[in-house]
């Protein structure tokens, strides 16, 4: 059994390598925007889709020949993928999926290139890349012997730091990551996502969120206010923009660190994880928009999903309309009058006093035994 995963490292290019990266970023961005523009113009005139190739543009724009050709090919693939995603969602009736947008040099800059005949490899504390040679990197995790490098994404973030994501194919997933997980796993855990905390488990654990954005919000607003007063094009504005970008990066890193450690804890210690399928987009549009974004529930579920495969765990998603908070986990009676503001409530049938979030987690756990395990034929 094989699966894909990636390692992200910080890299430290020298002056010439930075210059080359800037050229590749610019060429990839230019080609993507040019192909998008040509596609839009051609469709408006002919009502048909235009098929574009990087080789066609190299004749008209010779500077494109100076960079890695695979990076240009991947720009074309990214544009085709964006088009496919847009029309697929439109057919499903999802109007929220936006049309492909032009890339801006003010945003995060990236390009992707593929490994061909060992053109990309890691040696000591350096990574070999096509057309540029060896670039120094912070190798904090080694790529295993049963993992093959497929492609890499070079990234320059808005805080002017460089990173590289190395995508690998794991040839033997079971033996690759299971050894890091607990062999004495518990059978099942129900997880209720909570606004008051971050999550509450059926075991009674209440995990609080570090609230990274809230803690840094005052400082962020102050930096953004200073940035808005700087003159466009000045050096002071560039310095101020960098301060804002570094603070955003700090907040993002704090949130990711919390989510990675927590998601790994659950997949390493439980065989089955049951969570509720929440409509994150709907919640973001409501009164809890900023708080939901800071919590990072969507990212947490995504991490649980792929890490559960590595550690031999199973992630079960329960329908969002399942009344996990309203059902009494003791007698099964539904409390139809329960409000969002009710933290604790007492069952009218059996008089059991419930903590809203723990009760929901216990109901999710019970759902596994009643529905999921029974349907699988293992009960």
Residues forming beta bridges with residue 274, ordered by sequence position: 190, 316
How far apart (Å, rounded) are the C-alpha atoms in residues 228 and 242? 13
Q: Which phi and psi (to 5°) does residue 164 adopt?
A: -135, 130
Task: Report yes or no: 182 and 266 within 8 Å, Cβ to Cβ.
Answer: no
The active-site residue, picked from 155, 157, 276, 309, is 276
Q: Which residues contact 3 (CB under 8 A, 6 or more apart)?
A: 169, 170, 173, 309, 310
Alpha helix segments (H runs only) across 270-320: 280-285, 289-295, 297-310
The active-site residue, picked from 68, 155, 177, 192, is 192
> Token digits for 55?
């080789």
How far apart (Å, rounded) are the C-alpha atoms in residues 269 and 264? 8
Task: Report yes or no: 294 and 258 within 8 Å, Cβ to Cβ.
Answer: no
Task: Report yes or no: 200 and 357 within 8 Å, Cβ to Cβ.
Answer: yes
Nearest 5°: the CA angle 360, 260, 265 is 60
E strands, the chain, are 3-12, 109-114, 121-123, 126-129, 133-137, 147-156, 162-170, 186-193, 199-201, 206-207, 270-276, 314-318, 344-346, 353-355
How far apart (Å, rounded) are the C-alpha atoms in residues 99 and 151? 27
Closest by CA to 242, choosing from 253, 259, 230, is 230
Containing H/E element for 59? Answer: helix 54-60
**Catalytic status, residue 192:** yes
**Catalytic status, residue 257:** no
> Token digits for 322?
């399942």
**Catalytic status, residue 276:** yes
How far apart (Å, rounded) are the C-alpha atoms in residues 345 and 28? 58
User: Angle 235-269/297-310 helices, nearest 10 degrees?
Assistant: 50
What are the residue numbers of the active site?
A: 192, 276, 357
């Amino acid at each position: 059994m094989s699966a894909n995963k990636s390692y992200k490292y910080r890299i430290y290019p020298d002056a010439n390598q930075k210059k080359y990266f800037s050229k590749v970023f610019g060429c990839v961005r230019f080609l993507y925007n040019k192909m998008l523009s040509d596609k839009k113009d051609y469709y408006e005139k002919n009502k048909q889709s235009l098929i574009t190739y990087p080789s066609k543009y190299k004749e008209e724009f010779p500077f494109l020949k100076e960079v890695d050709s695979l990076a240009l090919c991947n720009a074309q693939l990214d544009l085709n993928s964006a088009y496919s995603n847009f029309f697929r969602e439109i057919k499903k009736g999802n109007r929220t999926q936006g049309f492909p947008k032009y890339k801006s040099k003010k945003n995060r800059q990236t390009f992707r290139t593929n490994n061909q005949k060992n053109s990309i490899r890691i040696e000591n504390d350096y990574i070999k890349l096509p057309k540029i040679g060896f670039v120094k990197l912070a190798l904090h995790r080694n790529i295993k012997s049963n993992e093959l490098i497929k492609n890499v994404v070079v990234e320059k973030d808005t805080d002017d730091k460089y990173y590289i994501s190395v995508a690998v194919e794991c040839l033997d997933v079971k033996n690759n990551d299971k050894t890091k997980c607990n062999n004495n796993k518990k059978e099942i855990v129900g997880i209720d996502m909570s606004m008051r905390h971050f999550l509450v488990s059926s075991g009674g654990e209440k995990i609080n969120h570090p609230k990274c954005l809230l803690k840094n919000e005052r400082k962020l607003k102050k930096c953004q206010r200073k940035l808005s007063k700087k003159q466009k094009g000045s050096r002071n504005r560039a310095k101020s923009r960098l301060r804002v970008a570094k603070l955003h990066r700090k907040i993002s890193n704090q949130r990711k660190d919390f989510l990675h450690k927590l998601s790994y804890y659950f997949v390493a210690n439980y065989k089955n994880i049951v969570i509720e399928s929440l409509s994150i987009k709907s919640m973001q549009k409501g009164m809890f928009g900023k708080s939901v974004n800071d919590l990072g529930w969507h990212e947490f579920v995504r991490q649980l999903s792929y890490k559960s495969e590595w550690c031999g765990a199973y992630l079960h998603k329960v329908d969002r309309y399942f009344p996990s908070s309203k059902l009494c986990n003791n007698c099964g009676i539904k409390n139809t009058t329960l409000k969002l503001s009710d933290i604790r409530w007492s069952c009218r049938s059996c008089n059991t006093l419930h903590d809203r979030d723990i009760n929901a987690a216990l109901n999710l756990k019970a759902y596994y035994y009643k529905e999921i395990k029974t349907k699988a034929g293992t009960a």
